[in-house]
Copies of this chain bind each other. A is one copy, B any other.
């Protein structure tokens, strides 16, 4: 009986194992089996986690193969530096300080050329400056006798370390010399303090600085000449790509709004991906700023001069973000519960779609201008077209109440129905009016983007059709105001005619 029971439990246990589930259908399964199941689950979970991690890493590598290349570059630079140890003659030259070359390569080698140069120069100058200062302090300390020597050394370390640390809080220093200040503290402390022990201070400092220079030179060489990634070029590409994304996002958003009830067009199959393009614009401020900081350290490369106006890219980025805020608000209009009536929507859909397509084609043209670094011959025309469609939209908005209240015109005597109708209409009109005024706001912000890009074109001397922009700009703005006034007057006249 007992034997039979055991057999049954064993069979059951096998079944449990067989289907792989850990249900508590088998209350008398031994502790071994439980541990086994638990262990299996743990290992499976671990393998899955590692697999997911590797999958993500693989995706990152496939997404941007230059990251993989960067890693190989670091490996190469480090291996080359190791030669200093392997080759005897070189080893005798710089001694045990070859270590500093390795350290320099590890610490200084960055993804972009600008960042590497920035860190390299910071390291070299920080080390040199701190070295000289430390010599001076060491000399003063050694002149002042045995008693005062540790005191002077300690006080100088305390003072200079505090000051240099504080300087890292000042934005202008932080942006450019943050790493240099750290290296300054490091070198100063090391040299001052070891000066107390090591007698061959000068030799040591000399060897250290020379190994650091060897390390930084190697880094700069590798980063600049083997598949270089230029911070400036990255910034340039980022800005023009974000502009495209913003344009697509605007288009997609307006399309979705007016094709809300299943009337999807074939032109956009992935509205979600398109729609979220503006989020890239909103979140890329930090990247843009660091890229612009590093780009200033880069020499002339490709189509960019040494003094390329990188700061202007930040202005373009800011104006794009200001536009993206509006697109965000527009996007939220789609989710809003207060939907406009189909009639109102249909009435305005054509003009709104026209405004959005004109706006986005202006942005795409601007993106092309940045991408190709050539002034566009058609940008003025496109902007003018966008303005005129925006005016059309404004006209449509002005005519809206007339078009919406046909009963009013037909039966002036039926007081109450008329009232109800016109009120209901305003209720239905509110979402559309909000949407449309956001569109108008967006188009005015796009004009601001165009202006910042034109400034860039002037500062960076983009090629293309030569125009006297300065002379044209002033009348242009006057023209807008004038045309708006005209527009309002025309609207009033048109209404009086009816």
A interface residues (Cβ-Cβ under 8 A, vs B): 53, 56-57, 60-61, 67-68, 70-72, 74-76, 78-79, 81-82, 85-86, 91, 96, 99, 102-103, 106-107, 150, 153-154, 157-159, 161-163, 165-167, 169-170, 172, 182, 185-186, 189-190, 193-194, 196-197, 283, 285-286, 322, 325-326, 328-329, 332, 336-337, 397-402, 412-413, 415-416, 419-420, 422-424, 426-427, 430-431, 433-434, 437-438, 441, 484, 488, 491-492, 495-496, 498
Given A71-B165, A167-B57, A431-B437, check contact A182 B107 (CB 8 Å): yes
Task: Give complex CA distance A430, B401 in Å.
Answer: 12
- Grouping DSSP codes into helix (H, G, I), strand (E, B) and loop, the A interface class, with mixed when no group exceeds half, is helix
Residues of B within 8 A of A72 (CB): 162
Q: Contacting A153 at CB < 8 Å: which of B67, B82, B326, B332? A: B82
Given A71-B165, A163-B71, A196-B85, check contact A79 B158 (CB 8 Å): yes
Whether B498 lies near A78 (C-beta < 8 A) is no
Task: Give complex CA distance A438, B326 in Å.
Answer: 11
Instruction: Please give me the 7 A-B residue pairs with the lowest Cβ-Cβ distance, nearest first.
Output: A75-B162, A75-B158, A71-B162, A71-B165, A71-B166, A434-B437, A106-B186
- A373, chain B: closest CB distance, angstroms: 29
Whether A496 lies near B420 (C-beta < 8 A) is yes
- A435, chain B: closest CB distance, angstroms: 10
Whether A103 lies near B193 (C-beta < 8 A) is no
Whether A102 lies near B162 (C-beta < 8 A) is no
Closest to A326 in B: B329
Whether A102 lies near B193 (C-beta < 8 A) is yes
Of A107, A185, A488, most B-chain CB atoms within 10 Å: A185
Of A196, A397, A419, most B-chain CB atoms within 10 Å: A419
Of A106, A197, A495, most B-chain CB atoms within 10 Å: A106
- A282, chain B: closest CB distance, angstroms: 8
Closest to A84 in B: B193
Closest to A167 in B: B57
Given A61-B166, A413-B412, A433-B434, check contact A102 B190 (CB 8 Å): yes
Given A79-B154, A190-B99, A194-B85, check contact A397 B107 (CB 8 Å): no
Whether B413 lies near A170 (C-beta < 8 A) is no
- A216, chain B: closest CB distance, angstroms: 16
Task: Give complex CA distance A441, B402 in Å.
Answer: 28
Whether A85 lies near B441 (C-beta < 8 A) is no
Closest to A87 in B: B150
Whether A170 lies near B57 (C-beta < 8 A) is yes
- A427, chain B: closest CB distance, angstroms: 6
Q: Contacting A402 at CB < 8 Å: which of B169, B336, B423? A: B423
What are 7 pairs between A and B in contact, CB < 8 Å?
A: A74-B162, A103-B190, A106-B182, A283-B285, A332-B441, A422-B422, A431-B437
Whether B430 lies near A75 (C-beta < 8 A) is no
Q: Contacting A398 at CB < 8 Å: which of B53, B326, B423, B492? A: B423
Whether B427 lies near A398 (C-beta < 8 A) is yes
- A479, chain B: closest CB distance, angstroms: 15
Residues of B within 8 A of A86 (CB): 150, 154, 196
Residues of B within 8 A of A172 (CB): 53
Q: Contacting A419 at CB < 8 Å: which of B166, B194, B332, B495? A: B495
Residues of B within 8 A of A426 (CB): 397-398, 400-401, 426
Residues of B within 8 A of A163 (CB): 71
Task: Give complex CA distance A256, B76 in Å.
Answer: 61
Whether A82 lies near B332 (C-beta < 8 A) is no
Whether A166 lies near B82 (C-beta < 8 A) is no
Given A107-B182, A157-B82, A416-B496, check contact A441 B329 (CB 8 Å): yes
Task: Give complex CA distance A434, B431 in Å.
Answer: 9
Whether A79 lies near B157 (C-beta < 8 A) is yes
Given A74-B161, A106-B189, A194-B99, check contact A423 B401 (CB 8 Å): yes
Given A79-B157, A82-B154, check contact A169 B67 (CB 8 Å): yes
Task: Give complex CA distance A53, B78 in Å.
Answer: 39
- A172, chain B: closest CB distance, angstroms: 8
Q: Contacting A193 at CB < 8 Å: which of B82, B413, B431? A: B82
Whether A106 lies near B185 (C-beta < 8 A) is yes
- A352, chain B: closest CB distance, angstroms: 15
Task: Give complex CA distance A213, B71 in Å.
Answer: 29
Q: Contacting A70 at CB < 8 Å: which of B106, B165, B336? A: B165
Whether A157 lies near B75 (C-beta < 8 A) is yes
What would 9 more interface pairs be, CB under 8 Å, given A57-B170, A82-B154, A107-B186?
Answer: A82-B157, A85-B193, A85-B196, A86-B196, A325-B325, A332-B441, A336-B441, A420-B496, A423-B495
Residues of B within 8 A of A420 (CB): 492, 495-496
